[in-house]
């Protein structure tokens, strides 16, 4: 039995075929009308019958208007051109639009999971959990697995050993589409979205925060191409690390996550697109939990 996606694809292809067929027939009809009108005018101007005064086996269109013999070739050429425009150009335009939409949706789903975590526990997860010696042991991403409906991975993840322990290390290569932007060429087991961790940022090491205690424009997560961070490693970014990324992007030393900028998840759980040339003062405010002047819309 065909899948829903397959059926939708077939239906979309059939509708496209019908549009092409209707357009092609309309073009062909117009060409026929033009040809018939020209032939009628030619016959009227000559004042003779269609065969009078012409070599045997020829017509007015072939003598005076030889291009009219190629009506069908013109028709085929127009159909081919229409097919090229209708099938190739939308695909070209969607090469960037598709990954951008998927990336935004990924961050939106992570935002929903963080919101649900806060509803369940009264706060956001800590940036990481430490062992008795203070060594980072588990990332907030591992804590968020149930809210992301990744219960199968959560059930086999061992919280009694470090993230890179013997058992957990086997999960290192697990691919999570939600953590990974399709424009990011790094392995699927690595993340494209990192938390901003600092005493004055949205995440504060082992201390949990509440989103409603922050400015709504505070950055929770930021998209980073080629972060080289496995999903279960308790490693993210500091505010200075974010500033460095934007400086490197503006100078051309680093490629943007998307054309012109990157996505961020804000403390109100909305996803925004931040341009590469965002004003440093605005970025500084968005990296802070302080509400003073933290307004991306008004200041950028």
Tell me, yes or no, whether 72 and 170 share the same domain: no
CA distance 280 to 151: 40
Beta bridge partners of 170: none
Tell me, yes or no, whether 29 and 141 share the same domain: no
- Among 239, 242, 228, 247, residue whose Cα is nearest residue 202: 239
- Contact assessment for residue 167 and residue 158, using Cβ atoms and an 8 Å cutoff: yes
3-state class (DSSP) for residue 223: strand
Tell me, yes or no, whether 122 and 193 share the same domain: yes
Domain boundary among 71, 93, 115: 93
Indicate the number of domains in the chain.
2
Tell me, yes or no, whether 144 and 283 share the same domain: yes
Let me know if 250 is exposed, middle or buried by CB neighbors in 10 A (0-12, 13-18, 19+): middle
Tell me, yes or no, whether 168 and 242 share the same domain: yes
Tell me, yes or no, whether 174 and 284 share the same domain: yes
Tell me, yes or no, whether 62 and 185 share the same domain: no
List the domain range (segments joined by +) for residue 86.
Answer: 4-49+56-93
Tell me, yes or no, whether 292 and 208 share the same domain: yes
CA distance 134 to 289: 25
Tell me, yes or no, whether 78 and 105 share the same domain: no
Please give the chain's pLDDT, 300 residues, in tens: 333 333 333 344 455 556 656 666 666 676 666 666 666 666 665 554 444 545 555 444 444 445 455 555 666 666 666 666 555 544 444 455 688 999 999 999 999 999 999 999 999 999 999 999 999 999 999 999 999 999 999 999 999 999 999 999 999 988 889 999 998 999 999 999 999 999 999 999 999 999 999 999 999 999 999 999 999 999 999 999 999 999 999 888 888 888 899 999 999 999 999 999 999 999 999 999 986 544 545 444
Tell me, yes or no, whether 9 and 135 share the same domain: no
Tell me, yes or no, whether 74 and 167 share the same domain: no
């Amino acid at each position: 039995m065909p899948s829903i996606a397959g059926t939708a694809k077939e239906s979309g292809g059939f509708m496209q075929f019908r549009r092409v067929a209707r357009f092609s027939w309309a073009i062909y009809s117009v060409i026929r009308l033009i040809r018939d009108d020209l032939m009628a005018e030619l016959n009227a101007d000559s004042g003779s019958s269609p065969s009078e005064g012409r070599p045997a086996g020829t017509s007015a269109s072939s003598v005076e208007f030889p291009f009219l013999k190629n009506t069908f070739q013109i028709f085929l050429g127009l159909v081919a051109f229409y097919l090229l425009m209708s099938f190739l150009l939308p695909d070209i335009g969607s090469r960037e639009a598709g990954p951008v939409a998927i990336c935004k949706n990924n961050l939106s789903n992570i935002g929903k999971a963080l919101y649900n975590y806060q509803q369940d526990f009264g706060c956001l997860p800590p940036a990481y959990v430490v062992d008795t010696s203070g060594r980072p042991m588990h990332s907030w991403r591992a804590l968020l697995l149930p809210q992301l409906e990744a219960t199968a991975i959560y059930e086999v993840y061992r919280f009694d050993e470090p993230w890179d322990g013997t058992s957990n290390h086997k999960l290192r290569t697990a691919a999570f589409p939600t953590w990974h932007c399709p424009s990011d060429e790094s392995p699927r087991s690595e993340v494209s979205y990192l938390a901003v961790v600092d005493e004055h940022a949205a995440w504060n090491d082992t201390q949990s925060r509440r989103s409603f205690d922050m400015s709504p424009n505070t950055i929770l997560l930021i998209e980073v191409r080629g972060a080289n961070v496995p999903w279960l490693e308790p490693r993210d970014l500091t505010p200075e690390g974010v500033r460095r990324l934007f400086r490197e992007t503006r100078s051309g030393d680093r490629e943007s996550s998307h054309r012109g900028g990157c996505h961020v998840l804000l403390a109100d759980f909305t996803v925004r697109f931040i341009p590469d040339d965002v004003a440093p003062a605005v970025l500084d405010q968005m990296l802070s939990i302080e509400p003073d002047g933290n307004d991306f819309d008004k200041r950028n």
